Amino acid sequence: MSSGFDLNHPISVPDKPALEGLEQKWTARWESAGLYRFDRAKSREEVYAIDTPPPTVSGSLHVGHVFSFTHTDLVARFQRMRGKAVFYPMGWDDNGLPTERRVQNYFGVRCDPSLPYDSSFAPPEQPGKQPVPVSRPNFIELCARLTVEDEKAFERLWRHLGLSVDWSMTYATIGRRAQHLSQLSFLRLLGRGQAYQLEAPTLWDIDFRTAVAQAELEDREQPGAYHRIRFARADGGFVEIDTTRPELIPACVAIVAHPDDQRYRPLFGSEVVTPLFGARVPVKAHALADPEKGSGAAMICTFGDVTDVVWWRELGLPVRAIIQPNGTFKAVTWGAPGWEATDPSAAQAHYDQLAGLPPTKARARIVELLKQSGDLLGDPRPITHAVKFYEKGDRPLEIITSRQWFIKTMEHRERLLQRGREMKWHPAYMQTRLENWINGLAGDWCISRQRFFGVPFPVWYRVREDGTVDYDARLVATEDRLPIDPSTDVPHGFTADQRDRPNGFSADPDIMDTWATSSITPQIAGGWIEDPDLFARVFPMDLRPQAHDIIRTWLFSTMLKSELEHGTIPWKNAAISGFVLDPDRKKMSKSKGNVVTPLALLEEHGSDGVRYWAARGGPGADTAFDPGQMRVGRRLAIKLLNASKFALSKSEPTGPITAAVDRGLLTNLARLVRESTEDFENYQYTRVLERTESFFWFFCDNYLELVKARRYGDHGAELAASANSALLTALSAFLRLLAPFLPFATEEIWSWWRPGSVHKAAWPTEAEILDASCGEDDRGYLALFFAAEILGEIRKKKSESQRPLKTPVARLVIHAAESRLELLPEFEQDLRSSGLVQEINTLASDGFQVDVELAPESGPPQRPE
């Protein structure tokens, strides 16, 4: 393979090789040589394409990113050396709430989508107390300004870590291309009926004041209490129910019990009256009601939880909504249509004490009222229960009826399950996560958010003559205009002054869920639409690397979009990284104050050292943060420098590899290469590192020691030539095997004696090594390990005798099976020099034993000073 630089390559080994400074040296050279540029002349079969996860730029990179991005880079480097043109872009996720919050605080502004774009706007020097309102396009500009700085810092870190990304191919999830394709994808789905708008009860965060999707929920254990409440029956009796949300009694539209529940069967079809508000509500039967829970009867409110929504829909109940988008109780006129009460003024008097309050305060208040009225039976019984939260939110979600955009998912579930099975998962069991998620889907994907910083929907609506918006009269942007912002752009046939005017138009105020954009990262990176030639060469991609916590979001939504747009899987492989754990097995997170700055780690242990630690965490494996392993990796890199210096320092003469131990070494190395190639193809990079490392240490500790004298010429030129050639062959293979893991040390060493970059060198092959050593040599293989074993016994004796290793051995008696003793001539000379052995005797024996007789200590011991 060709490479772009350093074609002059005299062997030149530094006196004191060191790791320090290699990151700066080589990142600069790789960049100037364009080493990792994607070669778009290659056909799809010759390409290995990666759908890199775009890190969130408004946060900071942490050690978990370093961990998982290293895994991807290992695979990228391997595939590149296998001859693939590696498509390895980098995206920046600057879309969404985290950035929105950061921009608000940093510049002291607030997005007001109703404002027109002001091209001369400049943010305040210092953020003031009152945020300055700005238009959405201005807000997005500020965002781009801030994130561009973050992105530079991220890129520096990634380069320092040695990621072999093609830095000419970056994208941002709020970038023009991402906006264009997000809107285009939306419009096409809309055109095909796969996207639709609906006014329906939706999960709602009252602080962010936006709808959220099922995928963004999380359960949190919260303290709560069962309140036993009585509802009056017409016959003067009562129905008792338990509720954790008594404040929703004014929103109660029915009571429900299980159809088979004998206690309530007589009541089905009758009406009861809500306490405090005197609303008549029916008693209904539904199979979801659990006779075991509470009293067996429950009140249905619009809406307390998702079960209420099911009951409301399936039982055909009316809506009596009381919670507003900001979470407070809205004003209600009791006695008005929909709010009928037996005593409207009493109901009003009670309700007025709740209006304007948030749910928790309203709950406390209504408990007082219920106590006074006698409708609260006994004391509230405290419990702990799981409550749904928006994953970024601070207060429990409410369910609020609102107009939202959805993408159809429910009708594609079976096909998506099949697509999941078409992919290879690393590790395989992660596929179960996807299947669990798909099987548990409760509804279509809500993609609209009532936020500002994100990709807007390219849609306007007609405004009626009376000034109300006609949501059925959609004005959809044409594809050639994209990307557009409907809050400043004007639909065809209208003028700007018709915005929000009678008979004019009004913009869709919402933006897309961040996953609606992230779900097309393969299309954004691969040039879908604007570069069909590139797209054909990279899509469907080979690899999606990501963490397991976003299988239900990023992975799933990307599969959905790919299915709907292209009818294929988006990638052939999904490699799922684990988390980095504290030593106490908890997930590392900022809130625990245990986050280490990645750059400091890289500087302390060297990028190769940190990569070594990361590479030891296999696919899917949660891995402990362990600086000890980074030190081990660093030592491996240093050892590689020094062993290479030895191998290259006196590399003449070379010649045929004839000595048995030399051929044995290469025989073992050839097997290692074969197995490592298979392992790497299967994303088992951890095994490659482990085995290569292990054999490399054997190579250093035993083989190098055995052949040291010989390669210096002590046993003649021919045997020296065999040793030198074997050393160079082995070194070349070791460097290439370790190049994905230790890109800096291996590149440095490669530059001492080989042309080009090790990262563009061909991955070693079994055949190549066996060619160099004229085929496999099992006898040599056995001889090498036998020699190493005897050498170990000699060292042991010296160590136990507390004598220097250079102490001569006067006499060696080797007890072993005849079949092994017969190998001795193959390595006798090497053994004599490396162990400083004077006399060797052998004794046929069933077991293995070595008697070592050290030379007497020479001269009188020196007196300490």
Among positions 509-538, residues that touch RNA (CB under 7 A) are: none
Asked if residue 665 binds RNA (CB under 7 A), the reply is: no
Sole window of 91-99, 289-297, 373-381, 652-660 interacting with RNA (rule: CB under 7 A): 289-297
Do residues 638 and 76 make contact, with C-beta atoms less than 8 angstroms apart? Answer: no
Residues in the chain, overall count: 865
Q: Is 708 in the site for RNA (CB under 7 A)?
A: yes
CB 190 within 8 A of CB 346: no
State which of positions 730-789 bind RNA (CB under 7 A).
Answer: none
For position 310 contacting RNA by CB under 7 A, the verdict is yes
Q: What angle do CA 609, 614, 618 make, to 5 degrees?
A: 145
704 lies in the site for RNA, by CB under 7 A: yes
Residue 581 binds to RNA (criterion: CB under 7 A): yes
For residues 293 and 371, which CB has a smaller minimum distance to RNA in the complex? 293
Which residue, 31 or 582, is less far from RNA as judged by CB?
582
Q: Does 671 bind RNA (CB under 7 A)?
A: no
Is 721:656 a contact under the CB 8 Å cutoff? yes
35 alpha-carbon distance from chain centroid: 26
**Residue 276 beta carbon to RNA: minimum distance, rounded to whole angstroms:** 16
Burial class (CB in 10 A: 0-12, 13-18, 19+), 779: middle
What residues have CB less than 8 Å from 609, skipping those under 6 apart?
630, 631, 632, 633, 634, 637
Which 1-20 positions form the footprint of RNA (CB under 7 A)? Answer: 18-19
From CA 74, how far away is CA 79, in angstroms rounded? 9
Integer Cα distance of 493 and 212 in angstroms: 34
360 part of the interface to RNA, by CB under 7 A: no
Q: Could you say whether residue 363 binds RNA (CB under 7 A)?
A: no
The reply to whether 126 sits near RNA by the rule CB under 7 A is no
How far is the C-alpha of 647 from the C-alpha of 626, rounded, in Å?
32
Measure the CA dihedral 635/640/645/648, to 10°: 170
User: Would you say 434 and 555 are in contact if contact means Cβ atoms under 8 Å apart?
Assistant: yes
Residue 805 Cβ vs RNA, minimum distance, rounded to whole Å: 4
Q: Which of 702, 762, 690 is nearest to 732 (CA)?
A: 762
Site for RNA in 434-493 (CB under 7 A): 436-437, 440, 442
By the 10 Å C-beta count (0-12 exposed, 13-18 middle, 19+ buried), 450 is classed as: middle
* Binder among 313, 587, 590, 592 for RNA (CB under 7 A): 587
Pick from 217, 599, 821, 840 the residue near RNA by CB under 7 A: 217
Among 646, 655, 779, 810, binds RNA (CB under 7 A): 646
Could you count the other beta carbons within 10 Å of the beta carbon of residue 503? 12
**Residue 637: how many CB atoms within 10 A of its CB?**
26
Three-state secondary structure along 472-496? EEEEECCHHHCCCCCCCCCCCCCCH
Q: Does 433 bind RNA (CB under 7 A)?
A: yes
Of 807, 819, 821, 820, the residue nearest 852 (C-alpha): 807
> How many residues in the shown chain lie near RNA by CB under 7 A?
89
Which of 169, 283, 459, 643 forms a contact with RNA (CB under 7 A)? 643
Binding RNA (rule: CB under 7 A), the pick from 125, 235, 292, 497 is: 292
Can you tell me which of 649, 682, 838, 841 binds RNA, judged by CB under 7 A?
A: 649
Say whether residue 377 binds RNA (CB under 7 A): no
Binding residue for RNA (CB under 7 A) from 632, 810, 824, 840?
632
Q: Does 601 bind RNA (CB under 7 A)?
A: no
- Assess 855 for contact with RNA (CB under 7 A): no
Among the residue ranges 372-380, 473-481, 635-643, 810-818, the one whose residues contact RNA (CB under 7 A): 635-643
DSSP bridge partners of 204: 211, 398
Smaller CB separation from RNA, 120 or 862: 862
Q: Which of 46, 290, 394, 678 binds RNA (CB under 7 A)?
A: 290
Using the contact rule CB under 7 A, the part of the chain among 100-108, 111-119, 354-362, 547-555 near RNA is: 547-555
Smallest distance from the beta carbon of 268 to RNA, in angstroms?
A: 14
In whole angstroms, what is the distance from residue 688 CA to residue 677 CA? 8
Q: Hey, which residues between 222 and 281 contact RNA (CB under 7 A)? A: 224, 226, 241-245, 256
Question: Residue 703: helix, strand or coil by DSSP?
Answer: helix
Count of CB atoms situated within 10 Å of the CB of 795: 16
Binding mask 793-832 for RNA (x = CB under 7 A): --xx-xxx-xxxxx--------------------------
Neighbours of 259 (CB within 10 A): 13
Q: Does 590 bind RNA (CB under 7 A)?
A: no
Shortest reach from residue 753's CB to RNA, in Å: 15
* C-alpha closest to that of 635 among 759, 733, 745, 788: 745
Q: Report the residue from 73, 508, 608, 705 that binds RNA according to the rule CB under 7 A.
A: 705
Q: Which listed range, 49-57, 66-74, 130-138, 433-441, lies at the site for RNA (CB under 7 A)?
A: 433-441
CA dist., res. 816 & res. 785, Å (int):
14
Q: What three-state secondary structure class fits 224?
A: strand
Q: Cβ of residue 793: shortest distance to RNA, in angstroms?
A: 8
- Binding flag, residue 837, RNA (CB under 7 A): no
Q: Is residue 609 near RNA by the rule CB under 7 A?
A: no
8 Å CB contact between 851 and 841: no
CA distances (Å), origin 322, targets 201, 400, 854: 13, 9, 94
Q: Residue 16 gets which letter from DSSP? A: S
Nearer to RNA, 505 or 827 (CB): 827
Nearer to RNA (CB atom), residue 140 or residue 709: 709
Residues 6 or more apart whose Cβ sits within 8 Å of residue 859 = none
Q: Rounded to the nearest whole angstrom, what is the least distance from the CB of residue 764 to RNA in the complex?
A: 20
Q: Which stretch binds RNA (CB under 7 A): 177-185, 302-310, 719-727, 766-774?
A: 302-310
Binding RNA (rule: CB under 7 A), the pick from 178, 298, 669, 689 is 298
Distance CA 502, CA 519 (A): 37
Query: Would you say 69 or 579 has its CB closer to RNA?
Result: 579
Rg of the Cα atoms in the chain: 36
The neighbour count for residue 622, using CB atoms within 10 Å, is 13
Classify residue 617 by its DSSP letter.
S
Residue whose CB is less far from RNA, 387 or 476 = 387
Min CB(167)–RNA separation in Å: 30
| Structural tokens at position 167 | 């830095």
Between 179 and 431, name the residue whose CB sits nearer to RNA.
431
Q: How far apart are CA 40 and CA 284, in angstroms?
A: 65
Does 675 help bind RNA (rule: CB under 7 A)? no
What is the distance between the alpha carbons of residues 727 and 708, in angstroms, rounded to a whole number? 10
Nearest approach in angstroms of CB 820 to RNA is 14
Nearer to RNA by Cβ, of 468 and 799: the residue is 799
Among 25, 40, 687, 815, binds RNA (CB under 7 A): 687
Which range in 79-87, 382-390, 490-498, 659-667 contacts RNA by CB under 7 A? 382-390
Which of 377, 595, 596, 700: binder of RNA (CB under 7 A)? 700
Smaller CB separation from RNA, 169 or 203: 203
Binding of residue 413 to RNA (CB under 7 A):
no
User: Considering the complex, what minimum distance in angstroms separates the CB of residue 742 from RNA?
Assistant: 13
CA distance 43 to 39: 10
Residue at 656: amino acid letter: P
Q: Rank residues 218 and 500 by Cβ distance to RNA and give the closer one.
A: 218
- DSSP secondary structure string, 737-770? HHTTTSHHHHHHHHHHHSSS-GGGSPPP-HHHHH
Residue 858 found at the interface with RNA (CB under 7 A): no
Least spacing, CB of residue 655 vs RNA, in Å: 21
